[in-house]
Amino acid sequence: MSWWNPTDVGRATRALLVDLGRGARLFVRLLASLGTTLQRGRLIVDQVHFLGNHSLAIITVSGLFVGFVLGLQGYYTLQRYGSAEALGLLVALSLVRELGPVVTALLFAGRAGTSLTAEIGLMKAGEQLAAMEMMAVDPVQRVLAPRFWGGVIAMPLLAAVFSAVGIVGGYLVGVPLIGIDAGGFWSQMQGGVDVFKDVGNGIVKSFVFGLTVSFVALLQGYTCQPTPEGVSRATTRTVVIASLAVLALDFVLTAMMFSV
Amino acid sequence: MQASKHDLWVGLFVMVGAAAVLFLALKAGNLLSLNFEDSYEVTARFDNIGGLKKGAAVKSAGVVVGRVAAIGFDATTYQASVQLDVEKRFTFPKDSSAKILTAGLLGEQYIGIEPGAEEKLLAAGDRITSTQSAVVLENLISQFLFNQASQAGSDEGAKK
């Protein structure tokens, strides 16, 4: 009953290091593939359509409801201090700086990341990737890179849509429903939201999250066990790892950007 | 580049995303109030700037005429030296005064310029000499308390 057998620990550590090295190598290859992928625009367009357009519905609806809730909860807190007009500022700042990029990335991992992993994993299980290699076609260049850059392009756009719709949602709850003054709502928002510090950094965040989620999804698909069970496990791991990575990176990015 | 049957929809998606960024920048953010106009720089020294921050508004008669460009500490006079970027189209007499004011009870602090009467105008690099520092709440309260105490003391003295 010695589950902590030193040999096992050593083997696990080595396996971990091998995985890490393989992941880093794939990441560098994906980044380096930017030039060749951009020349094959059609592949990227198809992936942006698959990852972006099809996620638009879930992003819009979630953004609207997050905006609604922020409006109600923010009003509940702010009216205690008699500053209900600051609701616009509160809704806009929380969406643009934090909730927009993070919630979009989590939804993107669930909606698009899983499908990426399953697709690549099934391609691997069906030996399609191996067949490509036999024909001297690099599957990383032909299959993985367009999906990666498609996700990286789609993610900031989705996050911006999420934030914009959320602000409209906050407006709908705050102004017509609760009866806050519309002028105060917008002018406080415009007075307090900085284009570069808040909106710009939010976009940078969502770009980084796009890189993270797409990469994790592709890595899990590319390195999964080529069996039905392996693909299902890889899909689960995509959601778990991508979500954790997004939340951890969010803390690091926030600490770096907003420390001033 | 080959055409894809998704081109139209992807184009629409990119348009929606760009529109959202534009909405965030223009409607939610302050892109419209950023000014790219020519400005000239004047400095002012204050005994105490309170909570004034870089980028705070410079107002005259309540209208924004510029921004605070930089805040520094003058080690020879032990005062804060504040650089103000005032838009070129607004000119002020040389004897104008600068005050640090607060918007509302808990609002942000800004600099208010009150125009003087001299015919010469402030030019780039000039210094506004007559300034009024920020009101620090603690000082006000302690003044008030000391007044109260001394009044009470003198009242008791009068009774005896």
Residues 6+ apart with CB under 8 A from B65: B58, B59, B86, B87, B90, B113
Longest distance between any two alpha carbons in chain B, whole Å = 103
Contacts of A195 in chain B (CB under 8 A): 25, 29-31, 34
CA separation (Å) from A168 to A161, A165, A253, B7, B140?
11, 5, 26, 28, 43
> What is residue B76's DSSP assignment?
T
Query: What would the pLDDT profile of B115-151 be if each residue is shown by its tens digit?
Result: 888 888 888 888 888 888 888 778 888 888 988 888 8
Is the Cβ–Cβ distance between A74 and A91 less than 8 Å? yes
Distance CA B95, CA B73 (A): 23
Pick the range with the lowest mean pLDDT from A29-38, A40-49, A93-102, B23-32.
Answer: B23-32
Contact B29 A53 (CB under 8 A): no
SS3 state of residue A194: coil
Q: Which residue in the block uniquely carries the two structure tokens 């070129």?
A: B88
pTM, rounded to two decimals: 0.78
SS3 state of residue B126: coil
- Residues B20-30 have a mean pLDDT of 83
Contacts of A42 in chain B (CB under 8 A): 1-4
Q: What is the mean pLDDT of chain B?
A: 84
Contacts of A56 in chain B (CB under 8 A): 13, 16
Closest CB to A42: pick one of B2, B17, B23: B2
Contact B10 A53 (CB under 8 A): yes
Nearest to A99 by CA among A206, A255, A253: A206
> What confidence tier does A260 reach under pLDDT thresholds 50, 70, 90?
low
Q: Is residue A161 within 8 angstroms of chain B, CB to CB?
A: yes
Q: Which residue in the block uniquely carries the two structure tokens 């942000």?
A: B108
A200's tokens: 């710009």
Query: What would the pLDDT profile of A151-196 be if each residue is shown by its tens digit?
Result: 999 999 999 999 999 999 999 999 999 988 888 888 888 878 888 8
Is the Cβ–Cβ distance between A55 and A106 less than 8 Å? no
Query: For residue A23, which amino acid is it?
Result: G
Query: What would the pLDDT profile of B52-84 be if each residue is shown by its tens digit?
Result: 887 788 888 888 888 888 899 989 989 999 998
Contacts of A46 in chain B (CB under 8 A): 4, 6
Distance CA A48, CA A55 (A): 10
The full DSSP string for A52-120 is: TGGGHHHHHHHHHHHHHHHHHHHHHHHGGGT-GGGHHHHHHHIIIIIIHHHHHHHHHIIIIIHHHHHHH
Give the model's pLDDT for residue B160.
62
Query: What would the pLDDT profile of A191-223 be if each residue is shown by its tens digit?
Result: 788 888 889 999 999 999 999 999 999 999 999
Whether the predicted pLDDT of B1 surpasses 60 = no
Closest CB to A160: pick one of B3, B7, B20: B20
Contacts of B29 in chain A (CB under 8 A): 190, 193-195, 198-199
Distance CA A168, CA A171 (A): 5
Residues 6+ apart with CB under 8 A from A187: none
Whether the predicted pLDDT of B33 surpasses 70 = no
Give the model's pLDDT for residue B34.
60
Burial class (CB in 10 A: 0-12, 13-18, 19+), A225: middle
- Mutation target to probe the A interface, by most A beta carbons within 10 A, among B6, B8, B10 is B10
Give the distance from residue B116's alpha carbon to the nearest chain A alpha carbon, in angstroms: 29
Distance CA A250, CA B152 (A): 58
